[in-house]
């Protein structure tokens, strides 16, 4: 048995799943568990082909659809290794990634090792962007207790000590809120010990939703990362924080503040409310509804002055009565696909 298990959670991502499985199989020090969450595309057939070819190296689990939170709960219950990494089925690990992660775990008493991810597009082309854009300290608990969500990559860029994650999990399941399981793992585990943040990119984070698209009603909406519905994310984030507070209070005896501070969340709100809005509405929102946004920007403990000034400049472009400038600024803030050099302005 290896020291780490890569758990691939999949739901209807047959077009990306083979690349994710291949990238996990290329890791010499990792077991592989593939959990299919009730897919209705060709995912199961793909998993079976890999299982037939590689035998126990590809351990398949099939379940009824229950959402990402149920996949994390089940995966954590099934792993028998000391460490675990949850790889999204549309992402990839680079060769040697798990070797680097295990070396980092061996270098100190860490509960999580995170690493940067290269942002890739639907075809796997490197966009030039990296996530996260800042490096957190090893003691993220102190910052979290003040309500700040520390910089972390999405799910695929985090490996956990299983015992630490089990002290926080399982995630309470909800029929309404079934996504963003990595939120509870990333921030919950930070209260159990130190975190090691590697600066080198060891995987690819695939952003495959367009920068801009039209709704069924014909209105233009802005694509923010892989979000299907930006307003749903805005509404669900407070629920996530309240759920995390409940988990850490009942299982760790940690009392987190009632409110959280996170630039990523606030920028999503900014972009959702200002994109394609009239100049008057943009002015009104920035003058009267942007307090939390500017607090998360100017008070950000993870950014230097240069980055804050740059983002402030982009934000203030929204005050200019120019549709073109407004679109440019919000596309740049919202979606890393827009930042690649080949995108026409």
Q: What is the pLDDT of residues 289-341, one digit of tens each?
A: 999 999 999 999 999 999 999 999 999 999 999 999 998 999 888 877 776 55
Is residue 344 scored above 90 in pLDDT?
A: no
Q: Which residue in 183, 178, 207, 170 sits closest to 75, CA to CA?
A: 170
First-last CA distance in the chain: 51
Could you read off the pLDDT of 228-264 as tens digits, one per residue?
555 666 678 889 999 999 999 999 999 999 999 999 9
pLDDT of residue 345: 37
Cα separation of 51 and 54, whole Å?
5
Cα separation of 300 and 308, whole Å?
8
Within-domain flag for 105: yes
Pairing of strands 83-88, 110-120: unpaired
∠ Cα 79 56 173 (to 5°)? 35
Q: For 200-225, b where at least 16 C-beta lie within 10 A, e where not — what string?
A: ebbbbbbbbbebbeeeeeeeebbbbb
Is residue 343 scored above 70 in pLDDT?
A: no
Domain shared by 180 and 85, yes or no: yes
Per-residue pLDDT band at 149 (split at 50, 70, 90): very high
Within-domain flag for 345: no
Within-domain flag for 152: yes
pLDDT: which is higher, 175 or 92: 92
As given in the structure block, the two tokens for residue 293 are 């946004």
Per-residue pLDDT band at 225 (split at 50, 70, 90): low
What is the average per-residue pLDDT within 261-278?
A: 91
As given in the structure block, the two tokens for residue 158 are 């985090």
What is the average per-residue pLDDT within 278-282?
A: 95
Q: Among 81-85, 121-125, 160-164, 171-175, which is the least confidently predicted range?
A: 171-175
Domain shared by 91 and 198, yes or no: yes
Cα separation of 78 and 75, whole Å?
5
User: Where does a domain end: 206, 238, 254?
Assistant: 206
Domain shared by 162 and 26, yes or no: yes
Domain shared by 76 and 177, yes or no: yes
Domain shared by 218 and 182, yes or no: no
Contact between 10 and 36 under an 8 Å Cβ cutoff? The reply is yes
Domain shared by 52 and 180, yes or no: yes
Neighbours of 149 (CB within 10 A): 24
pLDDT of residue 210: 55
Within-domain flag for 331: yes
Domain shared by 260 and 202, yes or no: no
Cα separation of 78 and 80, whole Å?
6
Q: Which residue in 86, 56, 58, 83 sits closest to 74, CA to CA?
A: 86
User: Where does a domain end: 156, 180, 206?
Assistant: 206
CATH label of the domain that carries residue 131: 3.90.550.10
Domain shared by 152 and 38, yes or no: yes
Q: Which residue in 298, 291, 290, 254 sits closest to 272, CA to CA?
A: 290
The boundaries of the domain holding residue 235 are 213-339
Is residue 197 scored above 60 in pLDDT?
A: yes
Strands of the chain (E only): list them: 4-10, 30-37, 59-63, 83-88, 92-93, 110-120, 126-131, 158-161, 194-206, 212-214, 220-222
Cα separation of 156 and 205, whole Å?
7
Domain shared by 36 and 132, yes or no: yes
Please tell me the total count of domains within the chain: 2
How far is residue 160 from each of residues 25, 198, 252, measured CA to CA in Å?
19, 14, 17
Strands of 26-79 (E only): list them: 30-37, 59-63
User: Where does a domain end: 176, 206, 236?
Assistant: 206
């Amino acid at each position: 048995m290896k020291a780490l298990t890569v758990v691939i959670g999949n739901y209807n991502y047959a077009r990306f799943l083979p690349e994710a499985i291949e990238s996990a199989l290329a890791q010499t020090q990792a077991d592989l568990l593939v959990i299919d969450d009730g897919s209705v595309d060709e995912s199961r057939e793909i998993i079976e082909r890999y299982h037939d070819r590689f035998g126990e190296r590809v351990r398949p689990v099939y379940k009824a659809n229950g959402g990402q939170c149920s996949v994390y709960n089940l995966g954590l219950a099934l792993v028998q290794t000391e460490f675990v990494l949850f790889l999204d089925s549309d992402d990839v690990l680079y060769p040697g990634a798990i070797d680097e992660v295990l070396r980092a775990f061996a270098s100190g008493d860490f509960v999580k090792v995170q690493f940067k991810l290269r942002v890739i597009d639907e075809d796997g082309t490197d966009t030039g962007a990296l996530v996260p854009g800042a490096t957190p300290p090893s003691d993220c608990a102190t910052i979290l207790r003040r309500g700040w969500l520390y910089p972390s990559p999405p799910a695929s860029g985090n490996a956990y000590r299983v015992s630490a994650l089990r002290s926080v999990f399982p995630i309470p399941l909800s029929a309404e809120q079934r996504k963003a399981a990595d939120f509870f793992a990333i921030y919950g585990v930070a209260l159990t010990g130190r975190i090691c943040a590697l600066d080198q990119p060891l995987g690819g984070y695939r952003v495959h939703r367009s920068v801009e698209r039209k709704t069924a009603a014909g209105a233009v909406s802005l694509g923010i990362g892989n979000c299907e519905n930006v307003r749903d994310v805005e509404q669900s984030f407070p629920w996530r924080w309240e759920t995390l507070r409940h988990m850490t209070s009942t299982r760790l005896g940690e009392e987190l503040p009632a409110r959280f501070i996170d630039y990523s969340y606030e920028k999503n709100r900014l972009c959702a409310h200002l994109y394609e809005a009239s100049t008057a509405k943009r002015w009104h929102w920035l003058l009267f509804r942007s307090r939390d946004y500017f607090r998360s920007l100017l008070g950000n403990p993870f950014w230097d002055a240069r980055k804050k000034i740059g983002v402030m400049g982009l934000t203030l472009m929204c005050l200019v009565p120019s549709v073109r400038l407004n679109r440019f600024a919000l596309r740049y803030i919202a979606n890393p696909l827009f930042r690649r050099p080949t995108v026409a302005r």
